[in-house]
Structures are given as C-alpha cells and as structure tokens.
Structure 1
Amino acid sequence: FLAALARKPKFSILVPVYQTPAKELSEMIASVKGQIYDDWELCIADDASPQPHVREILERAARSEPRIKLEFRKENGNISAASNSALALATGDFLVLLDHDDVLAPHALAMLADAINRHPQADVFYSDEDKLDAKGRRYGAYFKPDWNPELLYGQNFLSHLGVYRASLVRELGGFRLGFEGSQDYDLALRATAVTMGPVVHLPHVLYHWRVYPGATTFSSTQIERAVDAARRAIQEQLAGLGIEASVGDAGYNCHRVIRASPAKWPRVSIVATLRKDPELLADFLQGLHEKTDYPDMEVVVIDSSASARRLPTEMLKKRGVRVVRNSNPVGLARTVNEAVRRTSGEIILFLESDVLAADPGWLKEMVLLARQPGTGAVGAKLRSADGKTWFGGTVLGLNQLAGPISGMSAAAPGYFGKLLLTQEMSCVSGACMTVARAAFDAVGGFDESKLAPSFTDIDFCLRLRRAGYRIMWTPNARLHRRKADIPATSSSSNPTQVDNPTQVDLEIAHMRERWGQMLERDPFWNPNLSLDSNAAMSSPPRVSRPWQKTR
C-alpha cells in the first residue's frame, strides 16, 4: 500500500507543550514514533514549562530520534505563540496539529498520505476522533459529516485531526495571538475560507483526545475562554465575508449565527397543502397570520379534501387566501407547480396544513438562510404532538431509501449537538420547506412524471444539489405537527399518501434507478453510522481502509 503511493508527502507534526504530565507526554511522543508511515518530523515547542520532567523527557526523546525537533521558549507566551514556535521548526509539506497529551492512531499519517494522493489539490484534511479516559480506554467516537461549511460556524469539527498544507498556513500568518483556546478553530475558519481546493474528510478515527482528571482542556475556565475566542473568530470570519451577523449561544458550548435582518423582507409565497381534516385549515391560517412575525406573505391553499368549500367565503377573503383544487393525490406535484406559477414571491414556502408555528420568528429564520448565495432549499425542525423530534433532517439511505432524523426528545441536543446547529444536509422535508424562486425555476419545480407525494421532496432536493445548490436545515425555525398519528419512521421525510405497498415499492425502485449510489452514501451522514437507526454504529462498517478490500 505505502510503496504504491505516487507521492510521499512529508508531515510536520506541531505540538505546543506546557506542563504535560510525564505519562501523557511520553505516550504522545510514542504515538508519533509508532506511525507506519515514516516521512515525518515532530516539531515540539515547550512554552517555558517550570517542571523539569518536561525538558528531560523531550531531550531524551530527541536524542533517540533525529526526526524530533525541539524549541524551548524562554518565556511563556501561551498556546498560539508556542504553536508558532513549533511552526518555525517545520519543513514538511503538510502540518498535523497534535495536542501535547493526545495520541495519534498508528495508521494516521499513512491514511493522510493516501488521501493527499487521491486529492492532490486539497489544502485541508480532517478525520473522525474519539476520546481516551485515564485508563487508556477509548470512548465517545465522533463520526463526522463530510465538509459542511455552515456547520463549522456552530462547532469546530475540523480539529482532531486537522491537517493543513504548510504553505497555506504560512500565507495566513500562522496561529493568531488572542485566540488562545480556539486558535485551531480560528485557523480552520481562515484556511477553509481561502482554499481553492476541496476540504477532505477521512471517515476514520485517527485521533484520540485525552480526558483525565486535571486536564486543563476540560476545565470550566478553559472552556469559557475557548468559547469566547471561538465566537470572536467566527464573528471576524463572517465580517470578512461581508455577512452582517452576530454570534450567540446554541447550547452545549456550540454557536449560533444570528444574521441581520434585511432593510426590506422579501415576499414569501406560501403554498399550503390540505389533504384531509378540514378543521385544521382555520387553525393553520390563524397561526400563519397571528403567530408568525413576517410582514409580507401571500397564501395559496391546495385543497385535496374539498374542505375549503365549507369555509366561510369571508374568511378566505379576509386572509387573502386563494384555493387551488386537486382531486388526484398522485398528481399533486403538477398542482403544486401550477400553484407556484400563480404566486409572485421571491421566496416560496411549502407547508402542510397540520404544521403550526411554535415561535413567531420561524419564517424570518428560514428566509434569511434561503437568501444566502448558493442556497436552494431550507428545512425546519418539526416537533410531533407527543413532544419528540419529528424531523431533524433527512438521511439518504436510511430506512430503505431516505428517512428522517427523529424520535428523540424535542429538547435533546442530538448526536454531538447537531440538532442544535444550522447545517447543510442532503434533503429536507416538504412538510415545511422554503425555496428561492430562482432555484425552484432552475430545476423545473417538482417532478410531475412518476413520483407520488412520498418522495417528491427528496427528488427535488437531490435535483437542487445536482444543480449546485445547497440544502440547509435550521433548528432555529421551530414548528410542530398537530396530528399525533403521522409516522416519524416513514421511508420518506414526507410520509407517503399512497396506501398501496406495491406503488411505494415501484417508487423506491424508480428513485434508485434515478439516483443510484447517491442514496447509499449521504455526505452528511458518516459511513460508520448505521442506515437502520439514528446515530448507531454500522455493523459491519460501510467504510474500508485503503489497504483493505473496498466495501
């Protein structure tokens, strides 16, 4: 495997050291010396540690291994300054960031070398990670999504293991002083903003993050400092991109970008689908007009139940509601497309009539995201009538074809806090979805040919992604479903209205024929996670190492 690599990059492993316990420091060094890939140098900068064992261990290691380079700083300057001292020692092609008490997997550099050969234009690489307890036991693996720039504003998923092209880091000026505790996060934000290559994810646990009594990384003071530095770094990054926003708390030491309101909110054309339960329509319209803080809305109701005929004419007139009849549920996509053509808003909101607002600012949140350049569709967080998450995004390949992240308490943070964070996803639910009109028109609206309502939202989102648009999901637009009997485990994010299992099977076959392997590998759902349930580990794994037979 290693002999076959066309290019063998040199790695400079940067380690700022301060007061590291002897055992953990020695194990960090041993994990580097134990790499199966041998073109590396370990660049260690000690930040004036007062305890003599630190220098003794480092000098002993350097005497026995010429690839270990040392810098003993005369004064303590904190982690950013020490990291820059380590950077000054580096002569490698790529920089590997390693904390002074953490451990690399023995195949970490080998897998990075393979990834660099497969992605020669890439400047930034990152891997999955887990934790080590005081007894050396591994736990808490974080199986991360592929590159997700919006999620990076919410949490630093690039560090551990983060790897950067050395020339890029030097062009950026190295590690910035004043961002201690999140200096790696700040670097990740700056590097990914300027790189012209892909940001490459290695879906393998290559980094073991040490957690032990007395570890300063997890002290409340250090966490507060890191969170403050992270939010300042995010704020500066957004300002540099011309995005007017503030950065707040999303919970669990994560971050929320609060985008500024436009001078004038664009018109939103709401296309609401009513299939049954006519009594829902009155509450639905009342919720839109009295419980939604938005200045410019028009509403078109698609009636598949004839219920609108029983509503008082004056109510429809007062609300400015137009009604479009649809007598064939299988042909609903055609009716929806026709309804869109009758509207004028810059933003289109597709909404089912049993979905009601849970907070007044939900629509503004969705519109702010829908107006971002490159965004095609935006989904919301939907709560079921029993207080659980009904929709927290769609996972391709889950439950045969695609399924929702669902079933946990609506207040739960989700897998590594992801239910708290705005992020890119492959698909969102048509039960509540905003779409920029330009994007809707660019892909020709919903498919009118073979699909019944079951999978139209999935197909639509995949066509948006194929056209280069991003699909966003936000937990900051919160709504709830009034009905309690809608399944959260449907094979679609928009539960099927077709009761005939044979018809559903035909639709699944059609979707597989159309989208092929895209349905088997969701870039935002790690291949180490199961496709049978939410965030359980896949057994057997759906990913292989380069020297193993491809699964």
Structure 2
Amino acid sequence: MISINASSNWHLECGQGVYRLKPRKPQKKGWFVLDISYTGNISPLVNPVVKLFLVTGEPAQTLPLIIHADRLRVIFLAPEPLTLLEVQQADALQTAASLRFRLYRRAEFVALASMMWAVSRRDARKGISSIRVYAKSRARYKKHGFSGYLTRLFKEYYLVDTHRLEEADIYQSYIAKTEHRSQDSIQSTLTSLGYQPVISVIMATWQSDLRWLDAAIQSVLQQSYPYWQLCIADDASEQKKLIELLNHYKKKDSRIRVTFRYENGHISAAQNSGLLLATGAYVTFLDHDDLLAPNALLAVAEALQQQPRPLFLYSDEDKIDGTGRRVNPHFKSDWNPDLLCAQNYITHLMVVERAMVESVGGFRVGVEGSQDHDLALRVTEKLPPALIHHIPQVLYHWRITENSTALHADAKNYTSSAGVAAIEEHFKRKNQDDVMVQPGLLPNTYRVLHPIPKPAPLVTLLIPTRDRLDMLKPCISSIIEKTSYKPYEIIILDNGSNEPQTHLFFAEIQAQHEHIRVLSYDKPFNYSAINNFGVAHAQGTIIGLINNDIEVIQSGWLTELVSHAVRPEIGCVGAKLYFDDGSIQHAGVILGIGGVAGHAHKYFARDAHGYFSRLQLVQNLSAVTGACLLVRKEVFEQVGGLEEDHLTVAFNDIDLCLKVREAGYRNLWTPHAELYHHESKSRGRDDAPEKQARFQREVAWMIARWGAQLNSDPYYNPNLTLQHEDFSIRLHE
C-alpha cells in the first residue's frame, strides 16, 4: 500500500523504482521536509542510497535520502518554486509492505536547528567538543553573514546525512585504488611462486539460474592463477539446459570436472560429491550464483608461500547488487575464535587443505544451512592459530538475490537452529559438555553460555576514588542492589579524600556490609599504583577494575564477565558501557586509532547492530577499557600488573591487555554485560598544560613499547580507518 498524507497538496505517481510527487497547486520556494515511512522488509543492500531529484526554476538538484531503520527523511531548500519531486533509485522500497509519503514545510529557524543538531552529532562522533562546534559556528556566522552561514551549514548537514552515500562511493574508489594489477605484475608473481599447489574449487548446483551459474563458472575460468580445478556436483536438477551447460564446460576445459547426482541430497551431500572429484592440495567453495575475484586464487597461492604454511585460510568479501555494483564490503578480523562461535564471520572465501577436510569427514549431513560454519569449526579446532591465515583482500562476491542470505539474514530460517547445533557439538568435541548455546540477539548469531565453577570464585572489585560521593554512592549502590552474582567483595581505594561526608560514608558502608572495605592510599594520584596496591590486598581469585563513575544496569553483568574470566585461555574481559544518553561509550578497544587506541563504535546508538553485527556479539579484541575489566588475579600478577612508572593515568589498561595477550591469553569483550560509564566526571578534563604534557609522554611511551602492534590490530582490518571509531573504509590515510 502506498499513500501520501491526506492534506497534501501533492499528487503521487509510481513507476518502476521511481516515485514522482507533483504539486496540485503552485508551491512557493522555502524549506521542506520529505519523510517516507514504511512497514515490512525492505532491501537496503540492493540500493543503499535513494535519491531525491528537485525540479525548480533553477538547475535541478539531486540530493541523497538515506535509508534508516524504518524511514527516509531529508530537509531541503527549494530556492525557486517547486514543479516536481522525484524519488529515484528506489528499488529497495519495492519490497515494503506499505509506504507513506509526507511532505511538509519547515520554518527556516526550525530547519536551521535540525541541521545544527545533526552536524553537532557528527562532530561529537569525531571527538570534537561542543565548545569547538559553537566557536566554529560563531566564526562562520560573523565572517559570512546569515545567508553564507546557512549555505555552509546546509552543505555540512549533507555531509552528515550522506555518510552511506559516501561509503558507497568510497568503496568504488577503494576498488579502483587497490585491486588493479597489471599483467606484468601478475606474471612476475606467478614466476616467483616456489609452491604452486592445485586449488580445487567445489561447487554444488541445483535448479540454478543459468545466468548466474554461467557467470560463476566464468569467474573461475578467468582466474589469473592457472593451477585450479572446478569440481561441480549437480544435486539431481531437472533442468535440461543446466545439464547441457555443465557438459559444455566439462568438454571446454579439462580442469572442470562434473558429477550428476541421481538423488537430491541437499547442500552437504552435494558438496561432498564435489569433494570426491577434487585432487588439489587445497579446496575452496563457490556458490553457484556467486563470483570469485579475478586474482582470488593467486592471492591464496601467495599466502601459501609463508612459513609455517597455513592449512586454513579465509578472505574479505563483498556483495553484488541487482545492477552488478559491488557493495557492502566485509573487512574481517584475523583469527577470532570467540567471534566464530557467535557468528560465521569467515563465510567466503574459505580455503582448506584437502587432507584436513577429508580427515574431519567433509561436510556433515544434518547441519544444512550452517554447513560451512560447521566445517570451519571442525577444522580450526584441530589447528594452532599459526596455521590459520586471514587474507585482508576482497576475494569473493556474494550475489544478492531475492532469497539470498546475502540480502536478508533470516532468508533461510533453518540456518539458525543448524548453527546452534554446530556450535554445541563443537564444544562437546572439546569435552565442554556443560557449555550451552542459544540464538543470539540477531538472526544467525549465537550466544555461548560458559558455566561458572562450583563453588563460584570470589571476585574482588577495586574502586579507586577521591571524594566525589555524587559518583561513588550510585556506583556502590547499583552494585549492591543489582548484582546477582555471589560471592564478591568491594575494596574502595581512597586516594586522599578530605570531605567529612566522604569519611562518614566510608564508615557507614563498612558497618553495613562486611564484604566492603576501604583502604587508604595516601600518595599522589597514580591509577596504576592505586590498583596494584588494591590487588595486593584482594582476597578474590578474580580482580575487577571498576571506575567510581560506573553504574550497573542489569543483574547478570558480573555473572557474564566471570563466566569468561574463569576460562583458562581468556585474559582480560570487558563490558558494554554507555554514556548517560545511552549511546556507546565502550565496545572494546581498537589499536592504532588516534595514534594509540580508540573505542570501537563510540557514540553508536545503544541498540545499533554495529559493523557486521559486532556490537551484539561476544568477540576477541586486543584490549578492553579498565573502567570495567575482569581478569584472574594470577594472570594480572603474571604480567606484572599495571605499569606504574610510565602510565600513571592513560593507557595503563591497554598496556595491561597487550601484556596479557603477549603472555598467550585471548582478551574478550561481551555485549551481555551492560553498565553506564559517566566518563571522566570524577577526574575532570585533561586540558591543563601539565596534563597535556603528561598525556603526550604516555602516548610516546606506548608507541615506543608497542609501536608495531599499534599499527596492526589483528582484530580489526588494515582496510578500515584509523582516524575514526566507526569502522569506515581506510582510503586516504
């Protein structure tokens, strides 16, 4: 159903992917808002940007409309009377159950306020303070006058609302900049390869669309690396032309092998039939409607030259929309075992030593829909991390079709239950029968519930403070009132409090709660030294570093953190922290952002999915913030605790996490432990000259100590930005 607001002076006409709004009577120039709301599923990956075309007496303008959760909205200025509005590239809206167009005027000052708000939010995401935003606005207003200022604000507003348009265009620039290889370069690489294994490409077909199947086969034939096999198993298709096409290619190139199954067995059985044809040292998998990048197998062969030689490899990937345009690149983490148990982030291109695939029995019948995920788990659980290799290049293109999981995560509902079964059996093979798996917060994601030992370990929560009862009391109260985990103790580390009411509170809280102690640390503020002092007095086997400006939200936060901290392979564990307004303050740390490190997804909305759902998934990360961090006491002491001499205020938590990682543990972040972090309110801003000088010394020390690692975070991707915390593409850095 398509409608336009009843009082509208506009007439709506619908065409193929185009909606035209024509005025019933002349429309004066001025500010307008176009709001398109919809219900039902839409297909934003088909065309992520919808364009608004304005026809006036002036030269026509084209402006982007960005698809949000359930609406498109844009503010625009008509400098002359409007004669036509045309919403173009709207194919994505064709699948909506209903559409409602609302077009209305806005007073200039209201439009101005809306745009200023959007620009300030953008600047906040970049770390620009509101004072600087205000100062910049005043300077521009003074220099250019109201009209000039408005023009510039309008342009800045579109920089905000065209983020996804920019991303789409940036990706095309990325492709042009990074993927071209000359024939001379390719030939030189081929000549230099000391190891040139045959790579068998396994493909299953069934009732395939011949257009896409032909393109898929052509993408193999066009590989720059010549040492391949294409092993096709048709799963009892009834299409005569499909069989003819497969036989044609079988005769055309001896590297193509085809088998025709007489009984339909579904994807796992068909893939296994394809594996029986393979003789290559390595195998990879291509869906019958997808494409390999032209240099995909060459990139794999290059990666196989390293020592030790990988036995399991995977690459980045993207999607192809209905117009043939490449969109939605997924630049992946390096080996991330906890993320793999929360989501099949590996998907394509997955390359495995054929002997390894055979040793685990190939694809398992019964987990269809998650057969690739299941195979990845069964192979990688047998391998040390050194033999698992991520190629940070886009080597595989998913084709977006009507029923493809590339378009809708829930297009194949059976995949979720199959994924749960695959992960459960993964832990059973590791003799962890008490691990439970349930569907995650999003389709085709999973939550793994690790058990708490019996008896449950004592947790010591260390909370440094200096007065600031307005922060400390809500922190302590929220822990006492909302924490379901037992047992725990709280040690308040008093760093020179001098207000009488603070000492009265200390006396009262200790008298009321035997598991709360106050220890005095009467030395100059040194976050590292204070917490090291606290650890020395801790009775718990698990240490929790907690800022005094933390506030508990849900009762299970400590249970979730402990369930991971007790795992012998895990080091530091971090939580999901929110600013007062509910936006993301911390969702793990990415190394290299801003020179040392930055918080992943900072300022994203509380319920945002994040980059490929990572805001909703347990995952391994290089570091987590010390504002709320759990670690086993033995691990903390093993690495020497927090760095007291060089990191008195900043980066001591990052340094701790990197030392823990260096010692062989995996650090982990979970979205299932949620707390507020009223960041830095207790210490004030670091804008004094002496604080800035101290901060720069700490930056220099971190770079000197960890420089190489700060430039290559294995849980991020070299194709993603180090300037912002939003996982955008790295192009001109």
Residue in structure 2 matched with residue 539 of structure 1 by the alignment: 731
Residue in structure 1 matched with residue 646 of structure 2 by the alignment: 450
- Tell me the SS of whatever aligns to 2:447: strand
Q: Deviations over 1:209-249 (max 9, x none)?
A: 01123548767875211111111000111122122222112
In the alignment, does 2:372 pair up with 1:168?
no
One of 73, 78, 81 as aligned partner of 2:266: 78
Residue in structure 1 matched with residue 400 of structure 2 by the alignment: 211
Question: Which amino acid in structure 1 is aligned with residue 305 of structure 2?
Answer: N
Residue in structure 2 matched with residue 546 of structure 1 by the alignment: none
Distance 1:62 1:476, change over 3 A: same
Task: Give the C-alpha shift of residue 447 in structure 1.
Answer: 0.9
Task: Give the C-alpha shift of residue 498 in structure 1.
Answer: 9.1
In the alignment, does 2:533 pair up with 1:345?
no
CA contact (8 A) 2:549 2:681 kept: no
Residue in structure 2 matched with residue 195 of structure 1 by the alignment: 383
Residue in structure 2 matched with residue 59 of structure 1 by the alignment: 247
- 5 Å-filtered alignment, 1:368-517, equals 368-405=563-600, 406-482=602-678, 500-517=691-708
Task: Give the C-alpha shift of residue 261 in structure 1.
Answer: 3.5
Distance 1:119 1:142, change over 3 A: farther
- 5 Å-filtered alignment, 1:134-149, equals 134-149=322-337
Residue in structure 1 matched with residue 25 of structure 2 by the alignment: none
Question: Which amino acid in structure 2 is aligned with residue 319 of structure 1?
Answer: H
CA contact (8 A) 1:454 1:498 kept: no
Question: Which amino acid in structure 2 is aligned with residue 391 of structure 1?
Answer: H
Question: Which amino acid in structure 2 is aligned with residue 477 of structure 1?
Answer: A
Whole-angstrom CA distance in 1 between matches of 2:583 and 2:460: 29
CA contact (8 A) 1:453 1:497 kept: no
One of 275, 294, 309 as aligned partner of 2:503: 309
Task: Give the C-alpha shift of residue 482 in structure 1.
Answer: 3.9
Distance 1:216 1:300, change over 3 A: closer
Residue in structure 1 matched with residue 711 of structure 2 by the alignment: 520
Distance 1:96 1:479, change over 3 A: same
Question: Which amino acid in structure 1 is aligned with residue 616 of structure 2?
Answer: L
Task: Give the C-alpha shift of residue 484 in structure 1.
Answer: 8.8
Distance 1:104 1:498, change over 3 A: farther
Residue in structure 2 matched with residue 331 of structure 1 by the alignment: 526
> Which has the greater radius of gyration?
2
Percent of matched pairs sharing the same residue: 37
CA contact (8 A) 2:565 2:632 kept: yes
Q: Note the aligned Cα RMSD (angstroms).
A: 2.0
In the alignment, does 2:297 pair up with 1:297?
no
Which is further off, 410-419 or 240-249?
Answer: 240-249
In the alignment, does 2:473 pair up with 1:282?
yes
CA contact (8 A) 1:454 1:497 kept: no
Distance 1:499 1:403, change over 3 A: farther
CA contact (8 A) 2:548 2:682 kept: no
One of 333, 338, 341 as aligned partner of 1:153: 341
Task: Give the C-alpha shift of residue 39 in structure 1.
Answer: 0.3
One of 410, 413, 421 as aligned partner of 1:232: 421
In the alignment, does 2:317 pair up with 1:123?
no
Task: Give the C-alpha shift of residue 305 in structure 1.
Answer: 5.2
Q: Deviations over 1:230-276 (max 9, x none)?
A: 11000111122122222112222211112234332100011112245
Q: With structure 2 as the length reference, what TM-score do the two structures score?
A: 0.71
Residue in structure 1 matched with residue 61 of structure 2 by the alignment: none
Whole-angstrom CA distance in 1 between matches of 2:547 and 2:681: 15
Q: Deviations over 1:445-496 (max 9, x none)?
A: 1111111221110111111111111111100111112469699xx9xxxx99
Distance 1:46 1:109, change over 3 A: same
- Tell me the SS of whatever aligns to 2:242: helix
- Tell me the SS of whatever aligns to 1:506: helix
In the alignment, does 2:279 pair up with 1:91?
yes
Task: Give the C-alpha shift of residue 310 in structure 1.
Answer: 3.8
CA contact (8 A) 2:398 2:406 kept: no
Whole-angstrom CA distance in 1 between matches of 2:568 and 2:380: 17
CA contact (8 A) 2:592 2:713 kept: yes
In the alignment, does 2:326 pair up with 1:132?
no
In the alignment, does 2:438 pair up with 1:248?
yes
CA contact (8 A) 1:7 1:117 kept: yes
Whole-angstrom CA distance in 2 between matches of 1:43 and 1:101: 15
Which is further off, 238-247 or 347-356?
Answer: 238-247
CA contact (8 A) 1:454 1:496 kept: no
- Tell me the SS of whatever aligns to 1:403: strand
Question: Which amino acid in structure 2 is aligned with residue 536 of structure 1?
Answer: S
Whole-angstrom CA distance in 1 between matches of 2:603 and 2:254: 54
Task: Give the C-alpha shift of residue 293 in structure 1.
Answer: 0.6
Question: Which amino acid in structure 1 is aligned with residue 427 of structure 2?
Answer: L
Whole-angstrom CA distance in 2 between matches of 1:322 and 1:262: 25
Which is further off, 336-345 or 139-148?
Answer: 336-345
CA contact (8 A) 1:125 1:200 kept: yes
Which is further off, 192-201 or 24-33?
Answer: 192-201
- Tell me the SS of whatever aligns to 1:343: coil
- Tell me the SS of whatever aligns to 1:226: helix
Which is further off, 316-325 or 60-69?
Answer: 316-325
Question: Which amino acid in structure 1 is aligned with residue 282 of structure 2?
Answer: F
What are the ranges of 5 or more consecutive residues in structure 1 without an aligned counterpart?
542-551
In the alignment, does 2:451 pair up with 1:260?
yes
Distance 1:216 1:325, change over 3 A: closer
CA contact (8 A) 2:203 2:288 kept: yes
Q: Deviations over 1:294-313 (max 9, x none)?
A: 11111111123505424251
- Tell me the SS of whatever aligns to 2:664: coil
Question: Which amino acid in structure 2 is aligned with residue 535 of structure 1?
Answer: F
Question: Which amino acid in structure 1 is aligned with residue 317 of structure 2?
Answer: E
Whole-angstrom CA distance in 2 between matches of 1:228 and 1:393: 28
Whole-angstrom CA distance in 2 between matches of 1:333 and 1:296: 25
CA contact (8 A) 1:268 1:345 kept: yes
Task: Give the C-alpha shift of residue 120 in structure 1.
Answer: 4.1
